[in-house]
Structures are given as structure tokens and as C-alpha cells.
Copies of this chain bind each other. A is one copy, B any other.
């Protein structure tokens, strides 16, 4: 049993073989990095279980497993800000996926295109501070019924 995804997969094809070669964690999850295919901006990091990954491949829309809500969800199911799948890439050891997606409107629940909108910067004198690095694309109050 090789430590590398491609060794475990060998010459096999098909979803079942690919799923078997992935390295699911003790909760049955893999990390999924979301990268907008057009701008190449990384918009978020989420998790997928086998069901979420199957649904993503079946529908062409990104599905994830929410660790806090302990359930399957489709990105954009409430906001309409879906992520259309362009391509999935697996990393060398098979425990992480890079999802190249087309992001509708914005990913972040706070209204930013990317969840990674807070930059750690050095102030004059060397002390660290945090600056907002993204522009809001929508107002969460008008998109989410519940408090964001």
C-alpha cells in the first residue's frame, strides 16, 4: 500500500477505484480547496465526504460536508451563489482535492468574493495587524434569511 495516491490507484479507472485510492480522514473527509478557474483566486477551503464528492461529480455543482452542521450541503443552496465544477485535482498523497470552479457572485458568507479576505500585514515598527483585502460583492443581510 503506497503512500502516494497514484500508486494506490495504479491503472484502475472509475469512480469506485478513485474513491478507494483517496485518503479519507478518521471522519471520512478530504479537504477541498476552492479555486476560481478564471481569476485563479482561492475562494475557500471546505470538506467533502464520499456522498458530497459523488453529488459534485453527478451534478457538476460543488457539494460539501459541513462539520459544524454535520450534514451534506450544496454551495449556494440558500444564497444562489453556486460553484460550477470545472475540474477536480487530487494531491500526491490523496487526502486533499483542488476544485477548479466557476464561482457565481461570491463565496464568502460575509459578502467577499473569497473567504481569504483578511491579510496579515506588518505595521511600521514591525507589529502585525490585519487588513481587509477584498471588496464586498453583496450584502449578507439581503441574501441570507438568518443572521450570517
Interface residues of A (CB under 8 A from B): 4-6, 9, 13-15, 18, 31, 33, 35, 40-42, 44-45, 57, 87-93, 96-98, 108-110, 112, 115-121, 123, 127-130, 132-133
Number of copies: 2
Task: Report yes or no: A9 in contact with B45, Cβ–Cβ below 8 A.
Answer: no
Contact of A92 among B18, B41, B115, B120 (CB under 8 A): B115
By a CB distance below 8 angstroms, the chain B residues around A97 are 116
Q: Do A13 and B129 form a contact, CB below 8 Å, given A42-B42, A45-B96, A118-B6? A: yes
Task: Report yes or no: A120 in contact with B13, Cβ–Cβ below 8 A.
Answer: no
By a CB distance below 8 angstroms, the chain B residues around A129 are 13-14
